[in-house]
Chain A
Amino acid sequence: MTAATETGHPSVLAKAVREGIFAGVISFLMFLLFVGIETYQDINNALVWRTRWGLLAIFVLVAAVGRFLTVGFIKPHLDQRKLAKAKSGVLEISESKSFFHRHFLKIALIFLLVYPFLSLLIVGKQGSLKYVDNFGIQILIYVMLAWGLNIVVGLAGLLDLGYVAFYAVGAYSYALLSSYFGFSFWLLLPMSGILAALWGVILGFPVLRLRGDYLAIVTLAFGEIIRLVLINWTDVTKGTFGISGIAKASFFGIWSFDTGSASSFVKAWGLSPSSVYYKIFLFYIILALCMLTAYVTIQLRRMPIGRAWEALREDEIACRSLGINTVTTKLTAFATGAMFGGFAGAFFATRQGFVSPESFVFLESAVILAIVVLGGMGSLTGIAIAAMVMVGGTEVLREMSFLKVVFGPDFTPELYRMLLFGLAMIIVMLFKPRGFVGSREPTAFLKERRAVSGSFTKEGHG
């Protein structure tokens, strides 16, 4: 800002004042009837009106001052920065990476590893329940789901609007098999993944001929079919009542987290009973599952199958002309993505102890897809950041009670959560149309690994 005020040329300032006044006049005319006049009913139920000049003045002032500041200070400042950047050349970008920037992934991983203990230290047992469970586990579940969907949408370019179906298959696989047969979590976790992958293949077969919008609609329908089956097949799934009392995961069969159990984890370690230990354990499980997803994705991208997925996203016809069987390639993408959805579902079921079809509505699919798009299709780091912003953001917005100071005591932040959230998404997509990380890391190189700009990559046609 200081640099801008120095260059605050008189003609620029004059222009700013002019445009500010102009914006004020326009907003006055626009808001005069909308804001300045309010209609209400009096005691006799007659419609009468009153004026709200104060509120109108605030609106007009915000518009006028905002325009004045934008034209007079912010825009010249931005222009100057752009100019300075252009002058200094492109090289500077790669050279001046900070320590934090270079080791971002390592730092993030270390932070995640100590996060539960950090929260335990800072806010104590009871307080850290919220931070480990609502923030930590919740975000990581979405990170895993989004990384799973990323294989289908980000790499293979197949738009899947029904991804939550695989999440549901995983969750119900665990819930049903554990409550009917009493299998343990560690046996059912891989099984849920395999069952979900199987459903991925079953979905894949009929929709392989479809592309783009048609594929999206059919996958959407598939997601709804799974949900409706779960609701209506009451003999097995108990319909909308859901399945409760799902077994907790044990500490690899050694200790149990059930309070009454003989081999209780809390007793074995001589700790005071608290559910926070189980939550911390779950946090590490989902962290490990996320790492597995990331590892497999990174490895697969370097394998011929991963390259074929990306090639499929870029140009399907060219793929076929090179002898790539697009049918099996698409099926493996569907199955792999579905498998991770299934893992996440099994984890979700054991964490909640309760599953019902309510948890697997279309909105979930939409949120997961939004995370993938917002993060930058194909980029694991970008997607993790996006999951943090979107899921963590909505959790934080629940607690924005300070907004009551601004909007009055009637304001309930929970109700405006989705509105603010949508607004934030639009703003991000305006400034970063390719997502947080739009560039793509090549999987092989001769001399140096250079990121491919997002302007060259395609989104796929289905």
Chain B
Amino acid sequence: MALGTTTMTNDTILKVEHLSMKFGGLMAINDLSLEARRGEITALIGPNGAGKTTVFNCITGFYKPTMGMLTLQRRDGKEFLLERLRDFEIPKLAGVARTFQNIRLFSGLTVLENLLVAQHNALMKASGYTLLGLLGFPTYRRAVDASIEKAKYWLDKADLTDRADDPAGDLPYGAQRRLEIARAMCTGPELLCLDEPAAGLNPRESAALNTLLHQIRDEGVSILLIEHDMSVVMQISDHVVVLEYGQKISDGSPDHVKNDPRVIAAYLGVEDDEVEEVIAVELEGGNH
């Protein structure tokens, strides 16, 4: 799977090149190129229907892109072309984990079990694809202990240790969001894709989420996130990409994006001729 065809510097983890996604006659994403850097929080923002979740689904293999190349480089230098991998291989081989806009927990399983399911591939291997595990091999038992330790670690980070033995469906909304992130982290990813993690959270839960995301980044995991809540985006992200109608309209630091007239126009809605005017002013300003 390792392909050395594209040149990537080691600090780029994900490179999206000329990505297009068509649903019938609808062009959901049109020739989008972007980069996410290792160890950074990259935010993908844009008005409703801009194609953010579609980009996510392409990256995580739930959609096969109509066109384009998605290159992921792991820490050890191995490169994966995500559009060629099957959906379950992307977390398994390429180390990309994701959460969903509408939370998808295993609600009838306990919180701890949710985190153990996330370590399926490692445990499967350790259990010799079930056979050695059924015979009670010590290597499997050690792997089970290690998986519970890992689950405990993320339970602690997500502040869910007290509720480890409760069914996931019984948790309050904010805790479910944190559990979904903890579950994604238990797969041992290098890139974590979060689809609107702050949606529906109250300010306190939102603050707790910010701390959790910063902790994840400090562990060396890069984050790509979709978010509507501007305060969250501006506070935590290192790099912001703005989409509108499936195209990139701005790309840069939060401050740069915040002051970009095209972004303001996209969010606040300006008459078309006015946009031209705004851009003209901007260009003139640049010339001086």
Contact = CB atoms under 8 A, between A and B. Distances in A.
Interface stretch (A15-23, A257-265, A320-328, A356-364): A320-328
Contact of B130 (A303, A313, A321): A303
Contact of B106 (A310, A325, A450, A453): A310
Interface string A291-311: 000000001100111011011
Contacts, number: 133
B48 interface: no
A137 to B, nearest CB: 28
A324 B108 contact: no
A444 B106 contact: no
A323 B88 contact: yes
B112 interface: yes
A322 B100 CA distance: 12
Contact of A442 (B97, B109, B119, B134): B109
A446 interface: yes
Given A315-B107, A323-B121, 8 more contacts: A300-B134, A304-B116, A305-B129, A305-B130, A310-B109, A321-B97, A446-B165, A448-B165
Contacts of A321: 60, 62, 87, 91, 97-98, 100, 104, 184
B106 A311 contact: yes
Interface string B182-200: 0110010000000000000
B108 A314 contact: yes
Contacts of A311: 106, 109, 117, 120
Interface in A423-462: 440, 442-450, 452-453, 456-458
B127 interface: yes
A457 B105 CA distance: 11
A452 B105 CA distance: 15
Interface in B108-130: 108-110, 112-113, 116-121, 123-124, 127, 129-130
A311 to B, nearest CB: 4
A39 B107 CA distance: 59
Contact of A325 (B88, B105, B148): B88
A210 interface: no
6 contacts: A303-B133, A310-B113, A315-B107, A318-B104, A318-B106, A446-B165
A303 B134 contact: yes
A448 B164 CA distance: 9
B171 to A, nearest CB: 10
Give the bracket for the number of chain A residues in contact with chain B.
Answer: 35 or more
A346 to B, nearest CB: 22
B112 A445 contact: yes
A322 B167 contact: no
Contacts of B184: 321-322
A317 interface: yes
Contact of A314 (B106, B127, B152): B106
Contact of A308 (B91, B117, B187): B117
A293 to B, nearest CB: 14
A307 B90 CA distance: 21
B255 interface: no
4 closest Cβ contacts across the A-B interface? Answer: A457-B108, A323-B91, A323-B92, A314-B106
Nearest to A329: B120
A439 to B, nearest CB: 10
B282 interface: no
Interface of A: 299-300, 303-305, 307-308, 310-311, 313-315, 317-326, 440, 442-450, 452-453, 456-458
B11 interface: no
Nearest to B133: A303
A453 B170 CA distance: 10
B148 A444 contact: yes
Nearest to B163: A446
Contact of B116 (A305, A307, A325, A452): A307
Nearest to B61: A320
Contact-size category for B: 35 or more
Contacts of B167: 452-453, 456
A211 to B, nearest CB: 16
Nearest to A450: B165
A429 to B, nearest CB: 20
B234 to A, nearest CB: 28
B117 to A, nearest CB: 4
Nearest to B126: A304
Nearest to B119: A304
B173 to A, nearest CB: 15
Contacts of A453: 167
B17 interface: no
Nearest to B104: A318
A311 B106 CA distance: 6
Given A307-B120, A326-B88, A456 B170 contact: yes
Contacts of B187: 322-323
Contacts of B124: 304-305
B108 A452 contact: yes
Nearest to A310: B109
A107 B120 CA distance: 36
A97 B87 CA distance: 47
A445 B110 contact: yes
A318 B105 contact: yes
A446 B106 contact: no
A404 B118 CA distance: 60
A441 to B, nearest CB: 10
B109 A452 contact: yes
Contacts of A315: 104-107
Contacts of B97: 321-322
Contacts of A303: 127, 130, 133-134
A449 B164 CA distance: 10
Contact of A322 (B91, B168, B169): B91
